[in-house]
Amino acid sequence: MDLIGIYLREAIQESGCPVCRILKKYEEDIIGQILYEHVSSPSVREKFSESLGLCPYHAWKLKEIAYSNPLYGGLGVAIIYEHMLSIYINSLKSKKNLEEKKCYLCDLVEIKEQHTIEALSDRFSELIEDYKNSEAILCKKHYEELMLLLRKRSPELTEELRKIQIKSLKHSNLS
């Protein structure tokens, strides 16, 4: 099994949805990177200004992570949002409407989500036993997304996954 497969297998060993788990970690890592090294990087600033900051969920998440780790602190968030504010003020002065693109972090997480589901479906024949024997349960969304890809790529696995899913859900319901 390749490195990505090993990484997926690790996520499957834990309880809960392995894809959600991977995405949560990815989101936190990327926010950490932004706060730690990229606050003043021009390309990151540009991304933030295109979306005029983050969606409410990610804005609070950024603040939460910034304050939870003394290595980051509030300065990074302040720098980012001071910059956003100056863009906004300038648009008011010039009476130009600002076009807001989608939140930069939502975008990144969605791409990661797609890649993770694809990687999982590519390797699912090797991972299905681990999934079966683990406490992991794909959430409804990620189960459906994986099923969609498996139907195209390895339809023989879909029925097996459906059965495991029912069994795991029943089991978690009783315990």
16 φ, ψ (degrees, to nearest 5): 85, -175
CA distances from 52 to 4, 43, 57, 123, 140 (A): 34, 14, 14, 38, 32
Longest dimension (CA), the chain: 62
* Least CB distance to Zn ion at residue 11 (A): 11
Q: CB-wise, 5 or 16, nearer to Zn ion?
A: 16
Q: CB-wise, 55 or 79, nearer to Zn ion?
A: 55
* Least CB distance to Zn ion at residue 55 (A): 3
* Least CB distance to Zn ion at residue 104 (A): 7
- Which residue in 1, 71, 9 sits closest to 35, CA to CA? 71
Q: CB-wise, 113 or 122, nearer to Zn ion?
A: 113
Residues that bind Zn ion (CB under 5 A): 17, 19-20, 55, 58, 103, 105-106, 139, 142
